[in-house]
Amino acid sequence: MNNTIESEHIADVFSIDYEGRGVAKIKGKTVFIHGALPTERVSLVIEKERKHFSEARVIKVLQPSVERVFPKCCHFDTCGGCVLQHATLKAQVAYKQRILEEQLEKIGGVKPDEFLPPIYGLEWGYRNRVRFSVSENEQGVFSLGFKEKYSHSVVDIKGCDILPASVSDILPELKFVLQKLVKINGKVNYVECFFGERLTVLNVCMQNILNKSAQELLKRFSDGLNQAGSRLWQIWVKHNKDQAYPVDTDSQLSLDYTLPEYDVIMPYLPGDFTQVNMQMNALMVNRALSLIQAEKEDRIADLFCGLGNFTIPMAKSGAQIIGMEGADYLVQRASKNAFLNQCSNVEFKQADLFKTDRKTIADWGRFDKMLLDPPRNGAYAVVKSLHAPYLPRRIVYVSCNPATLARDAGVLVDKGYCFKSAGVMNMFAQTAHVEAIALFELY
């Protein structure tokens, strides 16, 4: 059932959901309200009636929350990204903590002994990795920006405050160059931006192989960016599923980020998975390593290890670390990063961790500790397959989805683990995305 209707109501908002929508009840039925915050009274219009809930949007805020602020971005009402800009940073983090608590209780039936103090991070200008959508309509109007709320349309933007200023400021010029590029080389699928320590890379994904005129256009754009500012830029091009490559092949610089507390430098390539917020990433690594308490005599597994973001700093303890990752190119990159950082006590292996079973766990042998950092669908196969005598005595679980963390936490508690602590880290300020960390210890 998905009937679209419009009827006006007044409601008191008592909570917020994982998509950043206010939650209210109208005649006993749950209503999710776009643009509403907890403690507010709002006038709303119901846009969709479903069997068990309704979807609505705010017409007018009758009694605003003390945490309501005016959204900084002029695209707040249309862009699908920063849905919590109308709340203070303090309130955003509190909402995310509440979402984590509710998901743990409702889905996993669990509660930690302690909730860790939240980590707030930067409010604006934090995003080091981003993908821009590109579109051109039938009238030839070209747009560069982000997807509209609940739509495939592209919101055309001239700047974005969650990006570093040097990236946001070049968006009008980038749009102008992309318009030319489309005319001489065909469709642009999307553009990625990677903001490293010393270098910013724009990766342009094309429908067609780059021709000479297009290559010259991008080279001039790159040269102009490097002449105009103190920051170094590269333009890369990717043709569908082919490997991305730099337009200026003479450049010797590469993307990287650092974890200074561990004397670690992490090179990466455009397209590699990295956290979107490097400042928060460093704080997250610190918290994860303080929870896992790696010691020299430990054998530790880092599952879904990627480039070695946790693995390599953890190896500085002297423990024996095994990093496992599904993508072979990331395994190769992580091995190179370990060598670069002089970590000889690390081994990286390719493994499809979503197909883990009891035999897989036994083949790995016993680990003293385990760190999990899975994608949004979680680490269910891994936690479900853990069994004696191969149960690590301590597990640290980093999650970008509190629902799957809650599910997996319930499994671990059923296996005899004590749920010691959990907390949120504001990796994605202004958005409703929740990054969390949890600690489990074997009784």
Instruction: Report the alpha-carbon distance of residue 38 to residue 61 in Å, rounded.
Output: 12
- Measured from the Cβ of residue 10, the count of other Cβ atoms closer than 10 Å reads 13
Task: Name 204's bridge partners.
Answer: 191, 237
Instruction: Work out whether strand 232-239 and strand 245-246 pair parallel, antiparallel, or are unpaired.
Output: antiparallel
Query: Contact 238/207 with Cβ under 8 angstroms?
Result: no
Count of CA atoms in the C-beta half-sphere (13 A) of 89? 13
Instruction: Report the alpha-carbon distance of residue 189 to residue 191 in Å, rounded.
Output: 7
Sheet containing strand 142-147, edge to edge, reads 154-156, 142-147, 129-136, 188-195, 199-206, 232-239, 245-246
Q: Is 325 annotated as a binding residue?
A: yes
Query: Contact 413/110 with Cβ under 8 angstroms?
Result: yes
Task: Name 12's bridge partners.
Answer: 41
Please give the positions annotated as active site: 400
Count Cβ atoms within 10 A of the Cβ of residue 365 and give its class: 0-12 exposed, 13-18 middle, 19 or more buried. Answer: exposed
Instruction: Report the alpha-carbon distance of residue 232 to residue 166 in Å, rounded.
Output: 11
Q: Is 176 annotated as a binding residue?
A: no
Q: Is 304 annotated as a binding residue?
A: yes
Query: Contact 352/378 with Cβ under 8 angstroms?
Result: no
Q: Cα-flanking dihedrals φ and ψ of residue 131, to 5°? A: -120, 125
| Residue 219 CB partners (closer than 8 Å, separation 6+) | 235, 247, 248
Query: Contact 34/56 with Cβ under 8 angstroms?
Result: yes
Name the residue type at position 202: L
Backbone torsion region of residue 21, taken as left when φ is above 0, otherwise alpha when ψ lies between -120 and 50, otherwise beta: beta
- Measured from the Cβ of residue 290, the count of other Cβ atoms closer than 10 Å reads 11
Q: Is 275 annotated as a binding residue?
A: yes
Query: Contact 393/415 with Cβ under 8 angstroms?
Result: no
Annotated binding site for S-adenosyl-L-methionine: 275, 304, 325, 373
